[in-house]
Structure 1
């Protein structure tokens, strides 16, 4: 049902997709579809959570054993975040889900907020590991740095959506070689401040 919903959200848009459309695409009766999810908003939240759970598992591994270099460690966490996704959600579906989060009842927006806070927490945890190793200054403001990295993470995601929308980004991947170089330069600047 989630894969069928994501496909329809991409093709028709969130607002124009009905629960009946989703049931038909998933080859379910409408009543059965409603047994699983009461609203399209609940489906969006389920898609976010499925993706978030996969990302959490993958990034926890990076945090448990990060590269020694703090720039490499932070970039690895971000790259792992963007390279781990549920296979049925592509750029067009993410755009529809992002718009749904802005236009839907609070539950959908809260799912996005929860995912953003999860990512800030991941950065906080990684920075603490790096601080314990001595790669980050003992008096570094980990909280602020994690919030900045969370904003960088979101900005990267948002730019990926905009590139798709405007036709300026031809690849499906979040991070091509040029974006990875830019990300590394941005992270290097932040890490320089954390070492000062």
Structure 2
């Protein structure tokens, strides 16, 4: 029975989260009401509050779900990356970008980013910062793996290179969510152009 109750609780939570994110996309984060989220998820308002205190909690849960799935997909690339730095970075970064609008739209990302900056000591901001760090660490792990293979220059600070690559892709993603007209393809093309010289600079003897 314990396992069944846990499954029912997880299913209910998933329904609430999916209902909220779909409503946010349809009417906007600010206009979405908790009563409407509960109705769409087929739960009572009281049940909603058993899971989340407010819409902000829902938003951070959506960001977490997004990033956790991206990290899991990226793990396979890090474990067995393409042979060269350029191809490997592109595979990982494209994976991040391709998944970025699955649960959140640009408005939701802007709200999440603004909240993390405006309330730096809040649980939301700490969680957002932690997720960013895990993504950054994964990029650094990819560069370190390539270095072990001889595809990245020996002696280079692979962790720092990964941080540089992540900081750039993160800044470009911010520019993307700020601009409603920018397409995902445009974002990927711009980051690809920026990654090409970086990959060339760090390439080791096996890729030169």
**So what's the TM-score if we normalise by structure 1?**
0.83
Question: How far 1:129 moved relative to its partner?
Answer: 0.8
2:63 pairs with 1:55:
no
Question: How far 1:86 moved relative to its partner?
Answer: 7.0
2:151 pairs with 1:135:
yes
Q: Which moved more, 1:42-51 or 1:117-126?
A: 42-51
Greater relative contact order structure (CA < 8 Å, 6+ sep): 1
Question: How far 1:10 moved relative to its partner?
Answer: 4.1
Q: Which moved more, 1:94-103 or 1:124-133?
A: 94-103
1:89 is paired with a residue whose SS is: coil
Residue equivalent to 2:179: 163
Which is higher, the Rg of structure 1 or of structure 2? Answer: 2
Q: CA RMSD in A?
A: 2.4
Question: How far 1:50 moved relative to its partner?
Answer: 0.9
2:70 pairs with 1:41:
no
Question: Does the CA-based 8 Å contact 1:10-1:96 persist in structure 2?
Answer: no
Q: Which moved more, 1:105-114 or 1:69-78?
A: 105-114
Question: How far 1:65 moved relative to its partner?
Answer: 1.1
Q: Which moved more, 1:41-50 or 1:67-76?
A: 41-50
Question: How far 1:150 moved relative to its partner?
Answer: 1.4
Q: 75, 82, 91: which is aligned to 1:76? A: 91
Q: Map Cα deviations across residues 110-158 of structure 1 (whole Å, 9 max, x no partner).
A: 2221121011111111011110111111111112211111111212211
2:157 pairs with 1:149:
no
Question: How far 1:71 moved relative to its partner?
Answer: 0.5
Question: In structure 1, how many angstroms separate the alpha carbons of the residues matched to 2:39 and 2:152?
Answer: 53
Residue equivalent to 2:192: 184
2:127 pairs with 1:111:
yes
1:45 is paired with a residue whose SS is: helix
Q: 202, 205, 208: which is aligned to 1:194? A: 202
* CA distance 1:182–1:151, change in 2 (3 Å): same
Q: 71, 76, 80: which is aligned to 1:65? A: 80
- Listed as ranges, the gaps of 5+ residues in structure 2 are 1-15
Residue equivalent to 1:92: 107
Q: Which moved more, 1:25-34 or 1:78-87?
A: 78-87
- Listed as ranges, the gaps of 5+ residues in structure 1 are none
Alignment of 1:11-50 (within 5 A): 11=26, 13-50=28-65
Question: Does the CA-based 8 Å contact 1:127-1:146 persist in structure 2?
Answer: yes
**So what's the TM-score if we normalise by structure 2?**
0.78
Q: How many residues align?
A: 188
Question: In structure 1, how many angstroms separate the alpha carbons of the residues matched to 2:102 and 2:174?
Answer: 19
